[in-house]
Chain A
Amino acid sequence: MELIRVSDVQKTYKTGTVALYDFNLSIKKGEFVFVIGASGSGKSTLIKMLYREEKPDKGSIIIGGINVAKLKNRKVYVLRRKLGVVFQDFKLLPKLTVYENVAFAMEVLGYDKRDIYKRVMEVLSLVGLKNKVRQFPDQLSGGEQQRVVIARAIVNKPKLLICDEPTGNLDPDTSMEIMKVLDEINAMGTTVIMATHDRDIVDKMKKRVILLDSGRLAKDIEKGSYCNERF
């Protein structure tokens, strides 16, 4: 079943840079998709349009029945509740503890305190941080901070998890641990899209790979790897 359909999308920034051209893409429910390409090839632009941080100037993006390209500013939350987002730079609130950072995502949706506690502890043990709930972000390593972000992204049980270079600031071993967590989340049924330029990860995971080149979709390979691409 199709979860995401991107049709004829074009994105031009105010500066005049065209970041994506005639872009078409279809992603099925439950898939794990890598988006790769050189720096500046448009990976982040594609990701941002999926969670409607940016709007395409042409074409349509349908996610789970919502036309993201036409979504009104005050309706964006409807889309955001269906997906989780993970960034390279974490975006944690420094004054909140690990627990509070994750719980924050449920609080703003108005969940009951008891439900929040149960679910937050559940996801924190899934990402292996059950013993760090009271720490503050600056008391954690980069890998641990990224797990908190992943926990926050999945705490509301989204159908889709979008990651932009989640291992960009991490060493190889930590990166692989993060990938294990993402793979587990994917195995539980969540569709995962991840932009990266980390070859090792892509090669090891043997997932679908979408290669961007200067804003165009250059290749779309099942069980692909980085090695056989030249750019």
Chain B
Amino acid sequence: MRGFRTVSRYFRDALHGVFRNFSLSLASILCITITLLVVAVSLILSSNVEHFSDSIRKDVTVVVFLKNDTTSEEVEKIKSELISIENIERSSIEFKSKTDSAQELKEGNDIFSATVDTWTDDTNPLLDSYMFKVKDIEKIDDTVKQVKELSLAKDKINNINYGEDIVHQLIIVFNTVEKVCVAAVIALILVTSFLIANTIKLAIYSRKREIEIMRLVGASNMSIKIPFVLEGLFIGILGSIVPILVTVFGYGSLFDFFNGKLFGSSLAMLVEPMPFVYEISSILIVIGIVVGMIGSYFAVRKHLKI
């Protein structure tokens, strides 16, 4: 009971401390608010960039052309074998007959349309094909190799096409973009932590006398640190309120405004707000609290030497 009363008193004293030194606390709170806003924006941006690159990567399609003499049983057999390959996205497997392809060609281009009209089933130079997408694009080369090793591959697969050159470049570019984004966000979080810790250090410096007197009248170092660290906790929470509100409501309305995609392109889909904004919010409040508490801890500790 006494322990509980001590704990609740620590919390009450800490809240008291925040408001008693409100102008100082306000400086720290504002600093946290502003820097966390920047962190929130950068997190949202980099998440969306990652999302774009993910959706573009997911859009890479492998086309397996089948030889003309492939029977319909063999076509089915190939499908069942494709399904058994781990990295192939099952639902994306699609069969396109050469007639379908010719029709597509005809609709897509006027010049071709006349030519295509002259084709009969026998003279159609196109091939039946399977198309599929992969789960992990980094393994696309292995997956294609697996397809080439299927039991029917040697006799029935004409060739496989997946724009190797572009895909390889894509992988490199997106890997770099992602790394840059992650590095930028981490750097930003570090700078933010440094700024917040420094503001707290200044705020606590001007309460040096209070700390000195606490020590003078016999407060143990631990009992001096606890209220300041708890104040850091409250300041962290108060400082993350605005950035969290901005994230939750701001991103939500931005998403609605753009109808969920940039440039009207289905390749530039924005990240769905739920539960994304809550994930960002938790990151923000954790940064606020952790930096607030650790910053306060080290700032007080400096005044407790000798």
Query: Taking CB as reference atom, which chain A residue is nearest B207?
Result: A93
8 A Cβ contacts from A124-165 to B: 152, 156
Q: Contact: B209 with A105, CB < 8 Å?
A: no
Q: Contact: A77 with B305, CB < 8 Å?
A: no
Asked whether any CB of chain B lies closer than 8 Å to the CB of A55, the reply is: yes
Q: How many Å lie between the Cα of A54 and that of B305 in the bound state?
A: 11
Asked whether any CB of chain A lies closer than 8 Å to the CB of B304, the reply is: yes
Asked whether any CB of chain B lies closer than 8 Å to the CB of A85, the reply is: yes
Q: Which residues of B contact A91 (CB under 8 A)?
A: 209, 212-213, 216
Q: How many Å lie between the Cα of A51 and that of B213 in the bound state?
A: 13
Q: Contact: A152 with B217, CB < 8 Å?
A: yes
- Expressed in whole angstroms, the minimum distance between the Cβ of B27 and any Cβ of chain A is 16
- Binding stretch for chain A, among B38-46, B82-90, B219-227: B219-227
Instruction: Pick the residue among A55, A80, A104 that contacts B215 (CB under 8 A).
Output: A80
Asked whether any CB of chain B lies closer than 8 Å to the CB of A230, the reply is: no
What does the 1/0 interface line of A40-81 toward B look like (CB < 8 Å)?
Answer: 000000000001011100000000000000000110111011
Instruction: Pick the residue among B213, B217, B219, B305 that contacts A73 (CB under 8 A).
Output: B305
Q: How many Å lie between the Cα of A156 and that of B221 in the bound state?
A: 18
- Expressed in whole angstroms, the minimum distance between the Cβ of B8 and any Cβ of chain A is 13
Q: Which residues of B contact A74 (CB under 8 A)?
A: 220-222
Q: Contact: B306 with A55, CB < 8 Å?
A: yes
Q: Which residues of B contact A76 (CB under 8 A)?
A: 215
Interface residues on B, range: 20 to 34
Asked whether any CB of chain B lies closer than 8 Å to the CB of A188, the reply is: no
Q: Contact: A80 with B20, CB < 8 Å?
A: no
Asked whether any CB of chain A lies closer than 8 Å to the CB of B210, the reply is: yes
Q: Contact: B219 with A108, CB < 8 Å?
A: yes
Query: Taking CB as reference atom, which chain B residue is nearest A113?
Result: B9
Q: Contact: A108 with B306, CB < 8 Å?
A: no
Q: Contact: A80 with B305, CB < 8 Å?
A: no
Asked whether any CB of chain A lies closer than 8 Å to the CB of B171, the reply is: no
Asked whether any CB of chain A lies closer than 8 Å to the CB of B120, the reply is: no
Interface size on A, residues (CB 8 A): 23
Asked whether any CB of chain B lies closer than 8 Å to the CB of A109, the reply is: yes
Q: Which residues of B contact A93 (CB under 8 A)?
A: 209-210, 213
Query: Taking CB as reference atom, which chain A residue is nearest B212?
Result: A91
Asked whether any CB of chain B lies closer than 8 Å to the CB of A118, the reply is: no
Most chain B CB within 10 A, of A80, A85, A105, A108, is at A108
Q: How many Å lie between the Cα of A217 and that of B215 in the bound state?
A: 30
What does the 1/0 interface line of A181-192 toward B look like (CB < 8 Å)?
Answer: 000000000000
Q: Which residues of A contact B21 (CB under 8 A)?
A: 95
Q: Contact: A109 with B219, CB < 8 Å?
A: yes
Q: Contact: A104 with B220, CB < 8 Å?
A: no
Q: Which residues of A contact B224 (CB under 8 A)?
A: 108
- Expressed in whole angstroms, the minimum distance between the Cβ of B253 and any Cβ of chain A is 43
Q: Which residues of A contact B220 (CB under 8 A)?
A: 74, 77
- Expressed in whole angstroms, the minimum distance between the Cβ of B266 and any Cβ of chain A is 61
What does the 1/0 interface line of B97-132 toward A look like (CB < 8 Å)?
Answer: 000000000000000000000000000000000000
Asked whether any CB of chain B lies closer than 8 Å to the CB of A110, the reply is: yes
Q: How many Å lie between the Cα of A93 and that of B210 in the bound state?
A: 7
**In the complex with contacts A55-B306, A95-B20, A156-B209 CB distance below 8 A:** no
Q: Which residues of B contact A152 (CB under 8 A)?
A: 217
Query: Taking CB as reference atom, which chain A residue is nearest B2?
Result: A110
Asked whether any CB of chain A lies closer than 8 Å to the CB of B6, the reply is: yes
Q: How many Å lie between the Cα of A147 and that of B132 in the bound state?
A: 88
Query: Taking CB as reference atom, which chain A residue is nearest B9?
Result: A110
- Expressed in whole angstroms, the minimum distance between the Cβ of A13 and any Cβ of chain B is 13
**In the complex with contacts A91-B212, A93-B209, A93-B210, A108-B20 CB distance below 8 A:** no
11 chain-A/chain-B pairs, Cβ below 8 angstroms? A51-B216, A53-B306, A73-B304, A77-B218, A85-B216, A91-B216, A93-B210, A93-B213, A95-B20, A108-B219, A109-B218
- 13 additional contacts (CB under 8 A) given A107-B13, A110-B6: A54-B306, A73-B304, A77-B219, A85-B216, A91-B212, A91-B213, A93-B209, A104-B213, A104-B214, A104-B217, A105-B218, A109-B217, A152-B217
The 3 closest A-B pairs by CB, nearest first: A81-B218, A108-B219, A105-B217
Interface set of A (CB-CB < 8 Å, partner B): 51, 53-55, 73-74, 76-78, 80-81, 85, 91, 93, 95, 104-105, 107-110, 152, 156
